[in-house]
Every structure is written in C-alpha cells, then in structure tokens.
Structure 1
C-alpha cells in the first residue's frame, strides 16, 4: 500500500513538472542550457517554443468555435507570414554576404572559436542595393503594376494610423514636454557596425587587423571607429561620420558674431550644425591657410577681416593679384598691392608691435594696447619672393642682405599676441621657406587646410590624422593642438562683407539683413546692390545731375563716395516711379 502511494505521488509530480515545462517553453526532457530569449544552436528560443505550444491549441479551439472569423484571421496571418518570410530571406542573404564571411575572417586572428558577434545595419551606405539583382522586363512590369495598384491599398490604413498617432502626439505635447525633465538621455548611435568580443582585452595589433578586415569585407566609406575595452567584453563600433551643413551664409554670421568676445571669431558650422569659433588669445595669435586654387582661401580671410573691422580694428592686406576687392576704399583697411607698399607696411606694423610690447612691460596683465590689427599675407609663396627682389633692387651699400620686411614679418610672428598684431598667412603650399623659416612657421597655432594633398597635410599638421579631403566648396579642416575639425566656412558676398565691416551697430543689436546695404547710410553702389535703387549706377548718377525728382542730399563721405540716408533714397525712388513712365531713363521693369 505504501509503495502504491509513493508511485502515485511520483507520477503526480512528474505530471506537474511536464505541465510546467510545456507551458513555460522549457524542454520537456528537463535539460536546460538554452536561454528563454535567445536561440540555441539550431533550436528554438524559449519564447518561440512557448508561442507554438500555446498558440496551436488556442487556434484550433478558435477555429472550432468561430469558423468564419477564423478564416479571416487565417488569411491575415498568412499575409503576415508571407511578408515576414520574404523579410527573413532578405536578412539571410544579407547575413550570408556580409556578416558570416566577416566573422569567419575575424575569429581566427582573435584566437576565439565562439563569443564574437557582429551587427551590421542594412541602411549603411549602399550595402542592400549591392545585393539587388537586375530585373527582367516582366519583373519590372509586375513591380510597376504592384506599386500603382496594390501597394497604395495596403499602405492606406497604416498611413492613416500613423497620421492619427502624430496628431495625438501633437495634442499631448503640452503634457509630454513637461515630462521630458524626468527622462534620462539615451545613447544616440544611429546606423552602425558593432562588434562584441567575449574577451577582456584586445591588443593594438589585433584591433588594427580587425579594422582592416571590417573595412575590406563591409564596403562602407567614411566611418568613425571607436573601441571600448572597459569591462568583461570588448566592443568596437563604426558609425557614420557627422558632416557640417552644405551651405553657411550671412544669417549665421549675424546670429553668432554679436555673442563673441573681442578676440573670438566665428568661421562657420561644424558637424551637427555646431558653430565653430577660433580664439586669437587662447588658441593662437596667428592663422595659416593652405589650400589649392579656388578652394576659398580669400573667403575665409575676408570673413575674419570683416569681424576685425566691425569691432573697430584695422586690416593690412598684402595682395598683389587683387583677391580682396571688397576691401577697396573701406575705412580701416590698408591695401598694399605693390612690393614697396608691402615693405613699408610690414616695417610700420613691426615697429608699432615693438612699441606696444615695450609699453606692456609697465602695465597690468589685462592692459589693452589698442585696436587689433590683422595682417593678411596673400599668396605668401610669391609675396616673400617679391619682397626679397624689391630689397635687392633698392638696397644700398652697408644695408643688410636680408629684406627688413621679411625680418619684420618674422618679428610680428614672434611678438604679436600681447601687441594684438595677428598674421593670417595664405599659401597654396605653406613651406618653411615661404614664411621665413621653420621656427617662424611654428607660431601658427591655427592651421586651416582645404583640398589638401597628402604631402601638404604631412608638412603642416603631421601630428593630426588626415581625413579624406572633401570636394564641397568651402569645406575646411581646422587643426588646433593636433585636433582636426571639419568646418563649412560661412560665405559672404562682396556687398555683404562691406556692409558687415561698416555697420557694427547693426551686428551688436543682432539685426538680420538679407542683403547688405540696409543700414541707415549707404553709397549709391550700396543702394543698387541692396535693391533700394531700381536703376543702374550710371542712370542713377544722371538722374542726380539732372535733378530728377527730390534728389537726396549727401550726408557724409566714405572714401571718395558720398553717403546718403536710406530714407531719402527710398523717398526719391518712390517719387520717380510715379512721375516717370516704366522703362524710361534706365528704369528697370
């Protein structure tokens, strides 16, 4: 009797165990080792086994009780299964072409047989389009018919549901925005290649080999690599490099410039649309630009120069070929286009810098020596040669053989920080000979490169890793302290640069103008460029000479040009439009 009770009790416990294992998705044999969430080698995961065991009887019961509704549900399930099956086929092909061969190449060098997992985002580059096979004419016709007739019907309900969800999100925004303060920021990764290795450490040689294998087997260009070896596992991640915006212009300059200190200069936008600012006090007192012809060297120099002028500073331009026509006639600009003018300007600036440094010895540390002076040396490779040739022609007996102007330029490079004398050197290839020696070139702590070659990069910034040169116009690499930052330099037209340089009050107030010349005072040319006057320049001058309409009176001078009030010019224009037929006297129609 006792033995019979033990047998029944044992069978009862066995039935309970089997029932528990069946309902929980565990193997009926009682052997564990396969996790609930992940699949084992060639077997189902626990949750998948659980779905099958509970879903099949439930489905059979529903079909027996509700046959009509079950048929509809079966059709929907069949459509979903077909879609999922097609997706699985695409994923299997992607895994077979990219992930499996890469893992097979990575695993042996690491000395591991298992414990290496690789994730590759299909949206990277053109990985998925590479797998597409060319279609036959019949397949193209079938896909076209499907896209015109079937897909709009299938997408109608999901699109309406998505629009409804967006509407609910907009209505709930006042409430959800208040809850943002409790949300912890998550890691924003985006499309990536991620490698997980079940080992605590990977050597430098192994990392280089793995990077080479990944770059060869997964053809995606311009990725940023990061290795994390803290913890029991090693993780490597390759993400898409963030790029600056394609166009940066006048509006961004107006938005950022008024917020800067006197020694800070806005030059453009970086990755993630972050403003890039350089400091002539903290980063370096001197700037070097090296780029090929047409890369925008003069545009970057102009952008910095107009900010100096807007703050009441001075600009000295050594330019033989006339790259800075915007500066002609500008107040505060000394434009030197002849070797003799360049020679005298460099001597004058070096003497003033020496005087300022002498006075600074007896002043406080934060003593201001006066307005900042920016010396722009255009095409320095040719300028140094012209200065040397000029000195060889005018040098008299007893004078030093070395050009005093070249020596003065070297003095400015060595003592310009405290004297607020800053040199901006521009050259296609900024060699040591072009700047007066290797020790002089080392004073350029801010180095800007565009359309560079490997030789130019290694010569100027060998301490920084060289990124691929961009073909986007205005895209520069700004290297400070061995760190290269990609920047889209802000572009200003000639008229915009002149207006910014001469209207600092508008900048201080943060006023934005779509076109320059919208200030209170302007010349006739400024008014025509800004669209205030509808005539050509010669036609406007003739109207003034003939006293057509209420001709505005000059309110001042800018160089040799008369300045007029904007209000007077607008009134004169409106009066002329009424009194003179369209098309007469040079009026634009």
Structure 2
C-alpha cells in the first residue's frame, strides 16, 4: 500500500495531472494506492464537503472551484463568512454574494436559470450550448439557517411558507446533471430544508473529522472505515462516491493565490 503524502500541493507532477484532466473532472487528491482521486461532474453532479471547524473544507471548495473555472465554468459563490472564498471575488466568471439578502435573491434567480436551461435541453439536446455553472456554498448549513430566518422577516401575505430560495436550490440539486449546474456544499445540509431526497443528491461526499452521526448518514455502507475518522491528519479525508466506494485521500491544497492563478489560466 502506498503511503499518503503529508501534503499535496501544486508541484510539477500535480500540475501535469491537472493539465490532462477533461473539463468535467477535478482532482480531489491522491489515494492510498497513489492514484488520483477525482470527481467527474458529468457522473457525480453535486459535492458535499463536511468537516469539523478548521478541518479544511474551505480549502477543498477553493481547490475544486478553481479547477472548474480554469476550464471555463462560471460560479455563484455564496460566502457568508466573507473571507473563505474572497479569492474569487471580482473574477469576471464569478458572481460573489456575502449578504444574506443578496444570497437569497441569487438563489431565487437560479430557478429561472434552471428553467431556461431545461428549455434549451428540450430544444437542442442535453448540454448543447450550456456553460457549466457551479454553486459554491461556504458554511452551507449556517447559511441555510440564516436564509430561513431572513425569509420569515420578508415573507408577505400569500407568499409560500418555504423560501423560494430553498425550492431553487432543490431544483438545481435534482436537475444539475441534465442542465450542467452543480452544487458544492460545505457542511451538513438541514433535512428540514432539502428533505432526505435532496440530501441524497450529493453523490460525492468528502468527510474529514465528523461526528459519528454524520458519517452514518452519508456512508452507511462503510461504517467500519470510519474507525480512523478522528485520527485523520490535516488534509486527509474520506471520499465516498455513489454511497459505497470509500477512499482515504490526501487532498490537493491550493492557496488563495494558486487558486486565483489556476482559475485565470496563469498557472
């Protein structure tokens, strides 16, 4: 068995691996067999990253987002913390939102974009003429809670009880593989918002140090592999794909300047 590296950064061999990946794929890291661990958004449209605080989930989101921007994708970055994904702020292919009201409105706008893309697919076939869009949720669980409180303050007579922002997010989760829209979610999404079927749309799950309950929810068939989840070194995660394949992985770590350079084609 190959030992995992202590750190995986943008060195020459890693850069060569990135350069040969197709536009639908991004490198998550390297597994214990020394082979690349990737996500293919054409097969696994939504990605969930869950760790305890300080566990590196922001770095994983940054690294994945930069790779898809490099290949021409657009991104809607929802960064309520205002610092975690600020490297992407100002990029012409990125819409960056930090205020809860702006995040709410941006999500509501996704509903129309989903429908527009469905209409394109109906007329021209799957994926024709559609740019990939990734929706990046930094601190997604906390953001959903804030959005729920925001909706209670702005909801008027006749408005639905459930925020249209949540409805739009669910639409993207279910339609993403057809209309080239993908969700990268940091946290543990509330079942009261997405429901069990919405949460099941994350076919790639990246777990760092997480509570036992989180592990059982997202990798129920792989519980024995969770024994070392509390002893993972920084940058080491378990990657669960399609609920049954679990790979311990050293994640690729791009600094903010490296992510910006990768996104803009400089490196």
Relative to the length of structure 2, the TM-score reads 0.92
Aligned pairs for 1:177-188 within 5 A: none
2:220 counterpart SS class:
coil
- How far is the alpha carbon of 1:325 from its aligned partner? 2.0
- Aligned residue in 1 for 2:38: 277
Distance 1:309 1:472 in 2: 28
2:202 counterpart SS class:
coil
- Aligned residue in 1 for 2:194: 436
- Aligned residue in 1 for 2:210: 452
- Aligned residue in 2 for 1:501: 263
Distance 1:485 1:258 in 2: 23
- How far is the alpha carbon of 1:362 from its aligned partner? 2.3
399 and 431 in structure 1: CA distance in 2 versus 1, 3 angstrom threshold: closer
Aligned pair partner of 2:17 in 253, 256, 265: 256
- Aligned residue in 2 for 1:356: 117
RMSD: 1.7
Aligned pair partner of 1:490 in 244, 252, 255: 252
- How far is the alpha carbon of 1:242 from its aligned partner? 4.2
Distance 1:431 1:398 in 2: 25
- Aligned residue in 1 for 2:183: 423
- Aligned residue in 1 for 2:221: 463
Runs of 4+ in 1 over 3 A off after TM superposition: none
Is the 1:369–1:420 contact (alpha carbons within 8 Å) kept by the matching residues of 2? no
Aligned pair partner of 1:299 in 59, 66, 81: 59
- Aligned residue in 2 for 1:265: 26
Distance 1:498 1:380 in 2: 22
The alignment status of 1:406 with 2:127, answered yes or no, reads no
- How far is the alpha carbon of 1:318 from its aligned partner? 1.3
Is the 2:144–2:190 contact (alpha carbons within 8 Å) kept by the matching residues of 1? no
Is the 1:369–1:419 contact (alpha carbons within 8 Å) kept by the matching residues of 2? no
Distance 2:65 2:148 in 1: 26
Distance 2:112 2:14 in 1: 34
- Aligned residue in 2 for 1:310: 70
**5+ long unaligned stretches in structure 2:** none
- Aligned residue in 1 for 2:7: 247
Highest RCO, 1 vs 2 (Cα 8 Å, sep ≥ 6): 2
Distance 1:375 1:272 in 2: 31
Whose radius of gyration is greater, 1 or 2?
1
- Aligned residue in 1 for 2:157: 397
- How far is the alpha carbon of 1:243 from its aligned partner? 3.4
- How far is the alpha carbon of 1:425 from its aligned partner? 1.1
Aligned pairs for 1:79-98 within 5 A: none
1:377 counterpart SS class:
strand
Is the 1:327–1:333 contact (alpha carbons within 8 Å) kept by the matching residues of 2? yes
- How far is the alpha carbon of 1:453 from its aligned partner? 2.6
- Aligned residue in 1 for 2:79: 319
Select the structure that is richer in strand: 2
Select the structure that is richer in helix: 1
Aligned pair partner of 1:380 in 140, 151, 171: 140
Aligned pairs for 1:8-157 within 5 A: none
